[in-house]
Amino acid sequence: MKEILVKVSKPYKIYIDHGVIDKISDLVGVDRSRRFVVLTDKNVDSLYFETLAKALSKTKSDIFKFVIEPGEDSKSFDNLISLLEFMADKDINSKDVLIAFGGGVVGDLGGFAAAIYRRGIDYIQVPTTLLAQVDSSVGGKTAINLSRAKNMVGSFNQPRAVFCDRQFLHTLADDEFACGMGEVIKYGILFDRDLFLKLMDRGRLDENLEPIIARCISLKRDIVEEDEFDTGKRQLLNLGHSLAHSIEVISNHTIKHGKAVAIGIYTVALGCAKSGLLPSGDLELIKEVIQTHNLPFKLPYKLSDMMEIIRKDKKRRGDYINEILIRKIGDTYLEQFDFDGLEEFFKNGVSHA
């Protein structure tokens, strides 16, 4: 079992192993007076709730289940209020624990609910998608969506622990797995050329999956420890995300996050290459690895429509927004743009479907 310690304001460990969920009771401690609220979605509930319940049974604690519909639309005020009311009805108190058992939507919603219920209770992340395991379950960002913008309402709330169990990826649809690879590719481009090059060989991905997950988590851990509250270097993790979030909003979330990130990354890379910043060979490698993992790279909408969404992005600071530019694979930096300048930069990277 791999353990990664995250040394932030509320330190915690991330546990990575096939079958690690079976050890959850031992690792969180047996306390019969503690109760658990398990937040999950219908897909994960039908496949794996009994696995988690059996693992928690050693605690002899009460377990309450709250199930939402899968998909980004569930990251809403309505579900947040319903979950809070559910916990109040069950008289959940500050000694009890919420378990976010699912993908990024469940993790974001659960983490935010735990942050504001009774001014904060503990929560545990048990991510069941590749995207959630390598990215969204780590670092304490929680949020729900507004109708016109993604992740606009939220808080920083570090989990008590994270359990990354590969067994939950066995039933992941190819499309969902590809979305996770969008974030994995991001980490390689940002920080680790060797990791990126490993992704070129899709045939060897399965045997290297746990080390790849651990490497992505370690890279994010290092950034989060340096900049827990996203005021500086942590913004690098938004590579391609300004465009990605606009794509998700315009598509009403029919284009999923990992696919939108891949499009955003390639558009930024093409803009960097046409500006003379990124070598053409690295641009071709980025395009190749995106295609290798069955991810799109062409913009599906008019840039002007996407810019309308980007101008409302939560990362906006006054009349400016930071965009992440690529010098080469493994070497990136933040560049401040006004919105007219950003639109001109993106025009260099426009490659429409």
Whether 164 is in a domain gets the answer yes
Q: Look up the CATH number of the domain holding residue 34.
A: 3.40.50.1970
Structure tokens at 243: 């465009």
Whole-number average pLDDT of the chain: 95
Answer whether residue 83 shows pLDDT above 90.
yes
Global confidence as pTM: 0.95
Closest CA to 329 of 279, 291, 295: 279
Q: Look up the CATH number of the domain holding residue 224.
A: 1.20.1090.10
Whether 185 is in a domain gets the answer yes
Query: Is the separation of the CB atoms in 12 and 22 below 8 Å?
Result: no
- Mean of pLDDT values over 150-177: 96
Residues 117 and 190 in one domain: no
Please work out, in degrees rounded to the nearest 5, the angle formed at the alpha carbon of residue 329 by the alpha carbons of 302 and 271. 25
Report d(CA 288, CA 284) in Å as an integer. 6
Residues 138 and 187 in one domain: no
| Angstrom distances, CA of residue 165 to CA of 133, 200, 210, 253 | 9, 24, 9, 27
Report d(CA 228, CA 289) in Å as an integer. 30
SS3 label, residue 9 = coil
Report d(CA 122, CA 269) in Å as an integer. 40
Residue 351: its pLDDT value, please?
A: 58
- Domains of the chain: total: 2
pLDDT tens across 232-267, in order? 999 999 999 999 999 999 999 999 999 999 999 999
The residue range of the domain holding 159 is: 2-169
Report d(CA 202, CA 177) in Å as an integer. 12
Instruction: Give the CA radius of gyration of the chain.
Output: 20
Residues 333 and 199 in one domain: yes
Query: Is the separation of the CB atoms in 109 and 195 below 8 Å?
Result: no
Residues 87 and 228 in one domain: no
Report d(CA 303, CA 246) in Å as an integer. 10
pLDDT tens across 267-309, in order? 999 999 999 999 999 999 999 999 999 999 999 999 999 999 9
pLDDT tens across 16-68, in order? 999 999 999 988 876 777 999 999 999 999 999 999 999 999 888 999 999 99
Query: Is the separation of the CB atoms in 239 and 332 below 8 Å?
Result: yes
Residues 222 and 73 in one domain: no
Confidence of residue 214 (pLDDT cuts 50, 70, 90): very high
Q: Alpha helices of 199-256 — where are they, by DSSP H?
A: 209-226, 241-250
pLDDT tens across 118-140, in order? 999 999 999 999 999 999 999 99
pLDDT tens across 168-204, in order? 999 999 999 999 999 999 999 999 999 999 999 887 7
Residues 48 and 6 in one domain: yes
pLDDT tens across 337-346, in order? 999 999 999 9
Residues 211 and 105 in one domain: no
Residues 6+ apart with CB under 8 A from 265: 182, 185, 186, 189, 239, 240, 286, 290
Whether 6 is in a domain gets the answer yes
SS3 label, residue 266 = helix
The one-letter amino acid code at 8 reads: V
Query: What counts of helices (H) and strands (E) characterise the chain?
Result: 13, 11
Closest CA to 321 of 304, 346, 303, 349: 346
Answer whether residue 207 shows pLDDT above 80.
no
Confidence of residue 353 (pLDDT cuts 50, 70, 90): very low
Whether 353 is in a domain gets the answer no
Confidence of residue 205 (pLDDT cuts 50, 70, 90): confident
